[in-house]
Amino acid sequence: MTGKSFSGNKPPYFKRRDNQRTSKHRRNERIRVPQVRLIASDGRQIGVVPTEDALALAKKEQLDLVEISPDARPPVCKILDYGKFLYDEGKKTKGTKTNVTKLKEVKLRLNIDTHDYETKMRHAERFLHDGNKVKVTLAFRGREMDNRQMGFEILNRTVSDLEQIGTPDAPPRFAGRNLSVTLSPLPEKKRKLKFNVQDETEEA
């Protein structure tokens, strides 16, 4: 057999990557075990067959024999269009990255004034509105640790002020000298703005 791909002409976005050394999947002649557990192109479980027979079936269909479970004994291989397989895998990866939730942090002080507090709430609200988690942290310095109750009151107020757009994963808790609470965004249709309403009106 030659090192050429089995597939015929495919659309441009299914263009085959012939340099198998950079591929994470062994395929075709690079599968050098005597037997494989074969899955047909339509998903049927064919069973254990000689590798040369599996290659012949793939060639007959003008498709590729791709090793999808190399650690199995024998390895599991499937007959498929490798170019289309890579394209679909790329779409899945891109979609996963797009939906990743990020954790943002907003830091408060024990003696924070009203203006600064509202500014921090606008930031937290925007993060939650965009679908991100928000960790609100209040750092204690020196003797401020004597006023822990005040810290809990500030973070409980924060949770209350953001309840129309986020919900706490757990009650506020200490980690060292930091008191923090993490909020997750509500479902998109339930999110309502409180601190950024004026900004959105001005942009409209």
> Would you give the distance in Å from CA 146 to the centre of its chain?
41
What's the confidence (pLDDT) of residue 97?
55
Report which of residues 12 and 139 the model is more confident about: 139
Residue with tokens 């002649």: 29
What's the confidence (pLDDT) of residue 200?
43
**pLDDT more than 70, % of the chain:** 81
What's the confidence (pLDDT) of residue 71?
87
> 194 is written with which tokens?
């409180």
What's the confidence (pLDDT) of residue 101?
72
> To which CATH superfamily is domain 103-203 assigned?
Translation initiation factor 3 (IF-3), C-terminal domain (3.30.110.10)
56: nearest Cα among 128, 112, 1: 1
Give residue limits of the domains in the chain: 12-96, 103-203
Contacts of residue 170, Cβ cutoff 8 Å, sequence gap at least 6: 181, 182
| pLDDT class of 199 with cuts at 50, 70, 90 | very low
Query: Is the CB of residue 74 less than 8 Å from the CB of residue 37?
Result: yes
Report which of residues 16 and 116 the model is more confident about: 116
Residue 151 clears pLDDT 70, i.e. is over it: yes
What's the confidence (pLDDT) of residue 92?
72
Residue 39 clears pLDDT 60, i.e. is over it: yes
DSSP string, 23-91: -SS-BGGG--SSEEEEE-TTS-EEEEEEHHHHHHHHHHTT-EEEEEETTSSSPEEEEE-HHHHHHHHHH
**Range with the lowest mean pLDDT among 38-47, 131-140, 154-163, 195-204?**
195-204
pTM over cut 0.85: no
Rounded to whole angstroms, the Cα distance separating 56 from 78 reads 13
Which CATH number is correct for 12-96, 3.30.470.20, 3.40.190.10, 3.10.20.80, 3.30.450.40?
3.10.20.80
Could you report the per-residue pLDDT of 93-145, keeping only the tens digit for each?
Answer: 665 555 567 899 999 999 999 999 999 999 999 999 999 999 999 999 999 99
Contacts of residue 106, Cβ cutoff 8 Å, sequence gap at least 6: 120, 123, 124, 127, 134, 135, 136, 137
H or E element in which residue 182 lies? strand 178-185
| pLDDT class of 15 with cuts at 50, 70, 90 | very low
